[in-house]
Amino acid sequence: MVQLMEEVPRDRMFNEGYPYFSSGSAFMREHFEGLAKRFMGTELTGDDPFIVEIGCNDGVMLRAIAQSGLRHLGIEPSGSVADAAAEQGIRVRKSFFEESTAKEILEADGPADVIYSANTICHIPYIGSILDGIAALLSPNGVFVFEDPYLGDIVDKTSFDQIYDEHFFLFSAQSVAAMAARHGLELVDVEHLAVHGGEVRYTLARAGSRTPAPAVTELQEQEHERDLHTLDTLRGFGSRVLTIRDDLVSLLRRLKKEGKRVVGYGATAKSATVTNLCGIGPDLVEFVCDSTPAKQGRLTPGVHIPVREASAFSSPYPDYALLFAWNHAEEIMAKEQEFREAGGQWILYVPDVRTV
């Protein structure tokens, strides 16, 4: 298992002021809506099916399920996004999920046919309690499906900014299979996803209840062939990270000497890793623009780059934009065509530093 060594108290990260709304990206809305339809056509076709989502955010996945009248429950401790989900007609429990929560849900609603989670399980250090809760709440033939950033993609792309306080675990097929087995569960399917820079959707079931798909063995064998979990592989990843750091700082300093304006695009959690590792402050990046009102008027963690509203990007356009939200590059670049037409260039740093 690849994980952080220091845990940030959960209340400091997930609270009433949590600023990320999953429905903010059109691409991600389509992603979650498609999955909801898949669940309704496969796992939620029995008599009075029930689905629970851990970390439902603003309800982007559960919305279609709620509109279909199926029993559902979203678990979301962050008040800002939980309230947004409730306003959509989604049944939400404003709390953290752990074993005791699962038992309370089981007593009130019965077992769940599907337990789902996106970009949440990797946030939770107390993974043993989570999996014991899953085992308690899941119906005999139910599935626990979750998707999170994939260690293989992080290493391949040197996407080191996926490592930050919320991402306590960096999962692989091998580590997920091992941790599932400790709690009476079995990894029965995997699906590689392109979202968020590369993720894997893992499907767990009660041990022996389903036949594992060939994709499980295939991905585990690939991980062994690539030596994904050897120290040498991870040290090589670390060396490439330092090269990116040096190249990015060198580029930004050169642009400053040339009198070019550089701003950041997307005040993401990932950007804090990049700016603090590289020592990038307002001397090199004038400000970061972001469309989320809760982030505007604040400063980025550690290096204190001002965060401004999205309209600041074009008032006037900078010469260069450092794209922190690189995992949405295609969507963002399509939206910001006028920036390119005005002569602007994007700065990317995954998998290496370049301008486009």
> What was the pLDDT predicted at 21?
73
Residues 132 and 245 in one domain: no
pLDDT in tens, 272-309: 999 999 999 999 999 999 998 889 999 999 999 999 99
Out of 229, 263, 278, pick the residue that ends a domain. 229
> What was the pLDDT predicted at 148?
98
- For 280-296, b/e burial (b = at least 16 CB within 10 A) is beeebbbbbbbebeebb
- Asked if the model's pLDDT at residue 209 lies above 90, the reply is yes
> What was the pLDDT predicted at 11?
87
| Confidence tier at 26 by pLDDT (50, 70, 90) | confident
- Asked if the model's pLDDT at residue 27 lies above 90, the reply is no
Residues 15 and 143 in one domain: yes
> What was the pLDDT predicted at 257?
98
Residues 269 and 217 in one domain: no
Residues 220 and 236 in one domain: no
Residues 201 and 254 in one domain: no
- Give the Cα-Cα-Cα angle 158, 159, 160 (nearest 5 degrees): 90
Out of 182, 203, 229, pick the residue that ends a domain. 229
pLDDT in tens, 141-162: 999 999 999 999 999 999 999 9
What the block records as the tokens of 8 is: 């940030």
Number of domains composing the chain? 2
> What was the pLDDT predicted at 19?
65
Out of 229, 244, 279, pick the residue that ends a domain. 229
Q: Give φ, ψ of 331 to 5 degrees.
A: -65, -45
Closest by alpha carbon to 200, among 183, 210, 215, 212? 215
Residues 246 and 302 in one domain: yes
275 and 300 in contact (C-beta within 8 Å)? yes
* CA dist., res. 136 & res. 203, Å (int): 17
**CATH assignment at residue 88:** 3.40.50.150
pLDDT in tens, 101-126: 999 999 999 999 999 999 999 999 99
> What was the pLDDT predicted at 24?
72
Please give the average per-residue pLDDT across 165-189, as a whole number. 97
Residues 39 and 119 in one domain: yes
Percent of the chain past pLDDT 70, that is, above it, reads 99
Please give the average per-residue pLDDT across 161-167, as a whole number. 95
| Confidence tier at 12 by pLDDT (50, 70, 90) | confident
* CA dist., res. 205 & res. 196, Å (int): 25
> What was the pLDDT predicted at 181?
98
Residues 225 and 250 in one domain: no
- Asked if the model's pLDDT at residue 339 lies above 90, the reply is yes
Residues 265 and 198 in one domain: no
Please give the average per-residue pLDDT across 54-58, as a whole number. 94
Q: Considering the entire predicted model, what is its pTM?
A: 0.93
Residues 213 and 250 in one domain: no
Residues 160 and 284 in one domain: no
**CATH assignment at residue 250:** 3.40.50.720
Residues 299 and 331 in one domain: yes
Residue 345 sits in which domain range? 232-355
- Asked if the model's pLDDT at residue 318 lies above 90, the reply is yes
Strand 185-193 and strand 199-206: the pairing is: antiparallel
- Asked if the model's pLDDT at residue 351 lies above 80, the reply is yes
Mean pLDDT computed over every residue of the chain: 95
